Structure 1
């Protein structure tokens, strides 16, 4: 592959993953509030609710309102998850539980960095390639990147909640490119979602690269199991 000027990377599933599972994190915090739940069931229902939710982007929102909008977006998913599994009414104070859960995901505790990530980011840096995070995440991504010792690798971080558009929309990719004064043809985007990352970036002329990690291969061009397999000619 010809050397790009900029490489953008997705966050969750590409740079770092959830330790154990989302359901396990929900179970741990729920247990602190006296509610017993099964992690596997919570995990299944959470992803059903997550996938059925609208994109986490708030076009036209005042920047000062965004943190609360992010909080409410995730709270709605958590409420629906516990209502479906029949445990919502077991909480004496669901709002207090969710605040603890939300804060927990702002720390390094529920996350782990994929082992191939730091050395590969360092290698790309040494090659003079600019790096950026491009993610449908919320503003907690900034402290998470810091906590996981990844923040210093990146010149830019572009998240859907701040720009009012979520992948696969071309708008979020355009905004990320503009931060680097870079054309689509000079950039790569690496992520784990076929639709949001691979197809979304390619639609704008960016080289889309899929990292499937624990997922089954999709059988497409530019698909790899890890970052270290992605070579520059």
Structure 2
């Protein structure tokens, strides 16, 4: 396990005999960037502007339970005009069920209006921060002519978020579960990402913070996998 992405860059510098990968893939949330507050805190803060107050800890726990029990965010739809409503509905169902579990859903006069504001908020830079080791290492690998990509169990808002965080120019590819038919840890999503770089599994690394989705998934797909441990 690595604790910072910088460790990998240093290993390449210190051990030049190591085979340099053609491409390095990254998970997004929890690997490249994280939330400044818990999901429960963010949900609750925006709910206040709609006259709704909740127990933040209870809401966060309800969100985590609902999120983990939800079906994969994978629709196999590349047409954004069709994909984006599917993504919106998927997340709205999680949010509404989270509030329902703590008995607060009925407090909203217009839950859809609340959720639209919440949904758009997560596509901005405001709730996120970039881990301090990320930019130096992305610069290093770019200078080494290593291709970079993202494989994420997220939705099309990630494209807007990468622009907002000024990360978009580092990555040659972004592979999203929502536009795919499967999500990590399933092998096909890794294969889709590899195809974008015309790369074989043994020529690729994958770095992520989930043992199941990132480490085990990448290993099963034949990539060299690295598990990163982020604080919190």
Verify same fold: TM over 0.5.
yes
Establish whether residue 141 from structure 1 lines up as the match of residue 154 from structure 2: no
Match of 1:39 in 2: 56
Match for residue 121 of structure 1? 138
Alignment match, 1:187: 204
In the other structure, the counterpart of 2:226 is 209
TM-score normalised according to structure 1 size: 0.89
What is the total number of aligned residue pairs between the two structures? Answer: 215
Report which structure shows greater RCO (CA 8 Å, sep ≥6). 2
Q: Distance in 2 between matches of 1:44 and 1:198?
A: 25
Tell me what 1:87 maps to.
104
Equivalent-residue separation in structure 2 for 1:38 and 1:133 (angstroms): 35
Quote the offset at 1:59 in angstroms.
3.0
1:62 is displaced (CA, Å) by 5.3
Among candidates 92, 95, 102, match of residue 78 of structure 1? 95
Query: 1:151 — aligned with what?
Result: 168
Shift of residue 199, structure 1, vs aligned partner: 0.4
Structure 1 segments (4+ residues) deviating >4 Å:
60-63
RMSD: 1.2
Offset of residue 21 of structure 1: 0.9
CA distance in 1, matches of 2:200, 2:78: 28
- Determine if contact 2:40/2:60 at 8 Å carries over to the other structure: yes
SS at match of 1:162: coil
Counterpart residue number, 2:7: none
Among 15, 21, 25, the residue aligned to 2:42: 25
Deviations 1:21-49 (A, max 9, x none): 11111011101111012222211110100
Shift of the alpha carbon at 1:164? 1.9
Are 2:77 and 2:178, in contact at CA under 8 Å, matched by a contact in 1?
Answer: no
